[in-house]
């Protein structure tokens, strides 16, 4: 009888803690638990407007929470700035700086997971991390009356997630680096966000000299190289690499290309010569070819 009493007490404590975490305080049998959205170490409860990291509440303002929900509801699709502002301020005309401020608050709250929110310059934002929707009542039914049972289903689930992320990060460390050299900051950031979301390891540089000053220590996979750069241009640098015996695959991108340029680049061994605005998929295909991986085009 004493062991059964301890078991019942343990389950009651677990349920009470879980009720608190989902934003309810009434008897479990009478509760309609809040649906849960999980990503990385975070659990989001839209109905009760709560955000938790590893089972601990995260302080997030009302607007920033609304912004997070808008991004999560898009399920990886691009959300335009206009649509976000209409959702956050439906009856008020506000400056775009207000959106940037709320985005800063949200990214700060996400801490090391802030890069899950990708900025697409001039277009909007993408929440690039995978999400999982969880039925809170189904999770409660899995609670074990054993005193060693985890105190919160999200904590147990996140333990597995972190182990998977650790394995993924270990694999990611061994990936060859894709170096993007472009003097346009918006282009650099947009391409980096896209390629990182595609699972590639990326570093960006504003010029040839910037690249030479900060050559990545990791194995280099290929260069994504602009033609018109401050100081030394991309075509001349391709020649420098060839003369130095550096067999590094190059994918050219340029907004000022002409036929002689493209012919010179391809004759010198470039993988591809793409004109701006660059098709992200065409660029990804070219990079995959440069890295010796199957591209979408090769699979068709």
* Same-domain check for residues 8 and 114: yes
- Report the number of distinct structural domains present in the chain: 2
* Same-domain check for residues 115 and 244: no
* Same-domain check for residues 124 and 225: no
Q: What does the pLDDT read at residue 227?
A: 92
Q: What does the pLDDT read at residue 11?
A: 42
Q: What does the pLDDT read at residue 242?
A: 87
* Same-domain check for residues 6 and 109: yes
* Same-domain check for residues 179 and 162: no
This prediction's pTM: 0.45
* Same-domain check for residues 7 and 78: yes
**Confidence class for position 134, pLDDT limits 50, 70, 90:** low
**Confidence class for position 75, pLDDT limits 50, 70, 90:** confident
**Confidence class for position 53, pLDDT limits 50, 70, 90:** confident
For 88-121, what is each residue's pLDDT tens digit?
998 888 788 889 899 999 999 998 888 889 988 8
Give the gyration radius of the chain's Cα atoms: 25
Q: What is the CATH number of the domain that holds 231?
A: 3.40.50.2300
* DSSP secondary structure code for residue 113 in this structure: G
* Same-domain check for residues 142 and 239: no
Question: Residue 125 region, left (φ>0) first, then alpha (ψ -120 to 50), else beta?
Answer: beta
* Same-domain check for residues 281 and 230: yes
**Confidence class for position 160, pLDDT limits 50, 70, 90:** low
What is residue 136's three-state secondary structure? helix
Instruction: State the first-to-last Cα distance of the chain, in angstroms, to the nearest integer.
Output: 67
Domain boundary at 166, 198, 232, which? 166
**Bigger pLDDT: 50 vs 294:** 50
For 242-290, what is each residue's pLDDT tens digit?
888 888 999 999 988 788 899 999 999 999 999 988 888 899 999 999 9
Q: What does the pLDDT read at residue 113?
A: 86
Run of H or E residues at 51:
strand 50-53
Percent of the chain with pLDDT over 70: 72
* Same-domain check for residues 185 and 142: no
Over residues 74-92, the mean pLDDT reads 88
* Same-domain check for residues 114 and 213: no
Residue 167 has pLDDT above 80, yes or no: no
CB atoms within 10 A of CB 27: 9
* Same-domain check for residues 213 and 148: no
Residue 23 has pLDDT above 70, yes or no: no
**Confidence class for position 140, pLDDT limits 50, 70, 90:** very low
Domain boundary at 166, 196, 211, which? 166
Contacts 24+ apart (CB under 8 A), 56-59: 57/21, 58/109, 59/109
Write out the residue range of the structural domain in which residue 138 sits: 2-166
Determine which of 2-16, 109-123, 147-161, 192-206 has the lowest per-residue pLDDT on average: 2-16
* Same-domain check for residues 89 and 110: yes
Q: What does the pLDDT read at residue 1?
A: 44
Q: What is the CATH number of the domain that holds 110?
A: 1.10.10.10
For 120-132, what is each residue's pLDDT tens digit?
888 889 998 888 8
Domain boundary at 143, 166, 189, which? 166
Q: What does the pLDDT read at residue 26?
A: 37
């Amino acid at each position: 009888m004493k062991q059964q009493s301890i078991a019942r007490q343990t389950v009651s404590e677990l349920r009470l803690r879980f009720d608190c975490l989902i934003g309810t305080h009434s008897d479990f049998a009478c509760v309609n638990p809040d649906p849960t959205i999980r990503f990385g170490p975070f659990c989001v409860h839209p109905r009760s407007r709560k955000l938790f990291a590893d089972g601990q509440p995260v302080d997030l303002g009302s607007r920033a929470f609304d912004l997070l929900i808008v991004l999560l509801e898009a399920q990886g699709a691009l959300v335009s700035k206009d649509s976000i502002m209409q959702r956050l301020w439906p009856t008020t005309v506000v400056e775009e700086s207000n959106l940037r401020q709320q985005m800063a608050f949200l990214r700060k709250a996400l801490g090391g997971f802030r890069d899950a929110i990708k900025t697409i310059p001039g277009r909007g934002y993408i929440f690039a991390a995978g999400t999982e929707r969880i039925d809170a009542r189904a999770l409660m039914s899995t609670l074990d009356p054993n005193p060693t049972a985890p105190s919160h289903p999200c904590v147990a689930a996140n333990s597995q997630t972190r182990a998977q992320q650790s394995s993924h990060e270990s694999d990611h460390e061994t990936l060859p680096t894709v170096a993007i050299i472009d003097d346009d900051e918006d282009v650099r950031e947009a391409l980096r966000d896209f390629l990182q979301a595609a699972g590639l390891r990326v570093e960006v540089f504003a010029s040839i000299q910037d690249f030479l000053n900060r050559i990545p220590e990791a194995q280099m996979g290929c260069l994504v190289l602009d033609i018109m750069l401050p100081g030394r241009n991309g075509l001349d640098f391709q020649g420098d690499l060839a003369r130095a015996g550096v067999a590094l695959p190059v994918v050219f991108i340029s907004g000022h290309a002409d036929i002689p340029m493209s012919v010179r680049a391809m004759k010198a061994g470039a993988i591809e010569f793409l004109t701006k605005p660059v098709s992200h998929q065409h660029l990804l295909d070219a990079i995959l070819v440069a890295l010796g991986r199957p591209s979408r085009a090769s699979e068709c």
